[in-house]
Structure 1
Amino acid sequence: MKVFKLKKELRQYLDEMRATGKTIGLVPTMGALHQGHLSLLAQARLQTDVVVSTIFVNPTQFNDPADLEKYPRPIEQDTVKLEQVGCDILFNPEVNEMYAGNEQWHLAIGELEFLLEGKFRPGHYQGVTQVVYKLFDIVKPDVAFFGQKDYQQFMVIARMVQLLNIPVKLVMCPILRDADGLAMSSRNVHLSGTERQQALVLSKALFWLKDNFNANHILQLQGQTADIIRHQEGVELEYMEIADGETLHPANKNSKTFVALVAARVGKTRLIDNVLL
């Protein structure tokens, strides 16, 4: 696996790959890799010739400086994991390689920016689009792979691609879960043993909803699912929404696709999860 720290060198190398007719797949990450990330790389392997993974903890998408500070950065372990799954290239830049001092960025992505996650993390999706645009510009991937766990983020990036006419195909890969149902997340390392048990209520509630879903009783089911979570000690629910899978507006019985999304704090750790209904 080749490791690059500088945009210029990565661009040059990828231009050479492209010149030989190779397709390029991109898996952008913030590191602290788990099986979920590695499943994206496996998909990229199947669909493209050269797989690029990026590890960059992007400061502009954190609205809480303490959260940025404590975000895990185990780069040595991450590098080993990438090599084991056959990643071709790791791009691991410093912040000053990605950002000049006084950059301004604002992309009018519309109401998607302010729903659900956007309500609880103002400015978050501006930071996401800013860094993903930069990565797309540097790597120029044919295909980019993202996880379903960040469903709204995928929709935001799809909107950006549409608005800015970026020639890239986006692939959403399914959520990977531990055997007990907890969605894999880099943040899970912050959970104590007790908190981890408490956190299982999120997937349990979502699976219950999936089993009992009926488009004629959306509000009732949403309330019942939220109650399951609220009754769990140690878990503070931020939102539980059955949304239209295409707009993220509250779903109604005429929606074509449905997704149930949840965010909650377990101890000091904020977790998100979702299921397609």
Structure 2
Amino acid sequence: MIIAKSRAEVKRYTEGETVGFVPTMGALHEGHGTLVTASKDDGNYTVVCIFINPSQFNNPSDFENYPINLEDDIAYLDSLGCDLVFIPKVYEVYRSGDDEGRYIHHFGSLETRFEGEFRPGHFRGVAQVVHILFEIVEPAMAYFGEKDIQQLAVVRALSSKLGGKIAIVGIETKREKSGLAMSSRNLRLTSDQLQKATLIHQCLTMAQSGFKSKSVVSIKEEVRLKFEADAEWNLEYFEVIDPQTFDPITVWAGPCRAVVAAHLGEIRLIDNIAIP
């Protein structure tokens, strides 16, 4: 596996290859592994980027506390058969003299509701860095997890803005045996909190199984009460949405998706599930 730290190295080693790209911020787990494996299974020369992007953190403490396990990440990627890992410094991604305006994108209500409401500027930062990385890596395909379903929608919209030449592949959320979605943030949970965190998946599966017999309003109320029963939880949102527009729905009408975000102590967790 090649370790590249500059744009020039990436260009040199990927020239003539059909590239599958997995952008990450490190602290890798099996969820990231499924993205790498999917790219390999598609026959791609697989490039993973590890870059903790400062522009997508609206909370400075989240940036400061983001876990870094670079040696473990490199060993894990090597074991998966990754072809190249790109580990740039900030100045290698955000270069002085670049026309920053061309990397700023707007996505309407998609970037201002749910995650966008509670993390202002987050999706603009995501789109900015993904656009830059797409130019550096020039992938044919890029892989993103469905756990960050709104981010996936933003990246798909970005790809469309850029001409639609890059296929954006969404990969199903990898979960712990408890149902908890795998996330780098889980490393910051105590053993007691890891048990409590299963409430998120329980509420999602309740919505998934209850859509035939309960109203959207009643399910949302049940979820609210479950989170309010434990003072360590702070529910930001639980909504049932149209998966194409991200508009909240009030009555069941075809395929939809339940989305949730909540703080457990100081740790913010998100998840979602398809219905039915």
Q: Same fold (TM over 0.5)?
A: yes
Contact residue 215 and residue 252 of structure 2 kept, 8 A: no
1:59 is matched with which residue? 54
Question: Residue type of the partner of 2:199?
Answer: V
Classify the secondary structure of the residue corresponding to 1:259: strand
> What stretches of structure 1 of length at least 5 have no aligned partner?
none
Query: 1:1-277, aligned counterparts within 5 Å?
Result: 1-15=1-15, 18=16, 22-101=17-96, 103-104=100-101, 105-214=103-212, 217-253=215-251, 255-277=253-275
Displacement of 1:56 in angstroms is 0.4
Instruction: Provide the alpha-carbon RMSD of the alignment.
Output: 1.6
Report Cα offsets for 1:8-39 as digits up to 9, x if no partner.
Answer: 12112211xx2xxx421001110000000001
**In structure 2, C-alpha distance between the alignment counterparts of 1:210 and 1:266, rounded to whole Å:** 23
Displacement of 1:212 in angstroms is 0.9
**In structure 2, C-alpha distance between the alignment counterparts of 1:199 and 1:183, rounded to whole Å:** 9
Displacement of 1:255 in angstroms is 4.5
Classify the secondary structure of the residue corresponding to 1:273: strand
Question: Residue type of the partner of 2:51?
Answer: F
**In structure 2, C-alpha distance between the alignment counterparts of 1:84 and 1:202, rounded to whole Å:** 31
Classify the secondary structure of the residue corresponding to 1:28: strand
**In structure 2, C-alpha distance between the alignment counterparts of 1:98 and 1:69, rounded to whole Å:** 19
Contact residue 204 and residue 258 of structure 2 kept, 8 A: yes
Classify the secondary structure of the residue corresponding to 1:201: helix
Displacement of 1:252 in angstroms is 4.5
The farther-off stretch of 216-225 and 148-157 is 216-225
The farther-off stretch of 122-131 and 191-200 is 191-200
**In structure 2, C-alpha distance between the alignment counterparts of 1:213 and 1:222, rounded to whole Å:** 11
**In structure 1, C-alpha distance between the alignment counterparts of 2:254 and 2:19, rounded to whole Å:** 33
Classify the secondary structure of the residue corresponding to 1:39: helix
> What stretches of structure 2 of length at least 5 have no aligned partner?
none
Displacement of 1:101 in angstroms is 4.8
Question: Residue type of the partner of 2:13?
Answer: Y
Contact residue 57 and residue 63 of structure 2 kept, 8 A: yes
Displacement of 1:48 in angstroms is 2.9
Alignment coverage as a number of residue pairs: 272
Contact residue 239 and residue 260 of structure 2 kept, 8 A: yes
Displacement of 1:228 in angstroms is 2.2
**In structure 2, C-alpha distance between the alignment counterparts of 1:273 and 1:194, rounded to whole Å:** 19
Classify the secondary structure of the residue corresponding to 1:26: strand
Report Cα offsets for 1:56-97 as digits up to 9, x if no partner.
Answer: 000000011111011011000000000011111100001111
Report Cα offsets for 1:242-262 as digits up to 9, x if no partner.
Answer: 011111111254754211010
Report Cα offsets for 1:191-233 as digits up to 9, x if no partner.
Answer: 1111111111111111111111139722222222232233234
Contact residue 244 and residue 255 of structure 1 kept, 8 A: no
**In structure 1, C-alpha distance between the alignment counterparts of 2:207 and 2:252, rounded to whole Å:** 18
**In structure 1, C-alpha distance between the alignment counterparts of 2:21 and 2:264, rounded to whole Å:** 32
Question: Residue type of the partner of 1:226?
Answer: R
Instruction: Call closer, same or farther: CA 1:254–1:178 in 2, change over 3 Å.
Output: closer
**TM (normalized to structure 2)?**
0.94
**TM (normalized to structure 1)?**
0.94
Displacement of 1:111 in angstroms is 1.0
The farther-off stretch of 207-216 and 82-91 is 207-216
**In structure 1, C-alpha distance between the alignment counterparts of 2:104 and 2:221, rounded to whole Å:** 35
